[in-house]
């Protein structure tokens, strides 16, 4: 499986959009912090990146599903080292 080079570019753009949200501090000592967090706008929506992220994830999962055991590690590589943990569950 050859990874499209644009995946790396697209992942980097998503990471750039999500970094400020991912790095935002959450004061877990403040009462009601979890409820406020849950009630907030989902990060992908806040960043305006949901459509892009879902489309890219669909492409990556399709390639992953069609790959062999040896080639399944390649889709994970572009996500390594991403500060905002884009694709952390792949």
Q: For 33-70, what is each residue's pLDDT tens digit?
A: 999 999 999 999 999 999 999 999 898 888 888 877 76
Q: Residue 87 domain-assigned?
A: no
Domain interval for residue 63: 5-78
Q: Report helix, strand or coil for 80.
A: coil
What pLDDT is attached to residue 85? 54
Mean pLDDT within 7-21: 90
pTM of the model: 0.69
CB 67 within 8 A of CB 78: no
Q: Residue 84 domain-assigned?
A: no
Q: Residue 90 domain-assigned?
A: no
Q: Residue 43 domain-assigned?
A: yes
Residues in the chain: 90
CB 50 within 8 A of CB 44: yes
Based on the structure, what is the number of domains in the chain?
1
């Amino acid at each position: 499986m050859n990874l499209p080079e644009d995946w790396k570019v697209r992942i980097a753009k998503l990471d750039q959009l999500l970094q400020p949200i991912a790095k935002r501090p959450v004061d877990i000592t403040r009462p009601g912090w979890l409820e406020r967090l849950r009630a907030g706008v989902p990060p992908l929506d806040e960043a305006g990146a949901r459509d892009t992220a879902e489309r890219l994830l669909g492409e990556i999962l399709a390639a992953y599903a069609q790959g062999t055991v040896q080639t399944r590690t390649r889709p994970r590589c572009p996500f390594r080292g991403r500060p905002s943990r884009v694709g952390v569950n792949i």
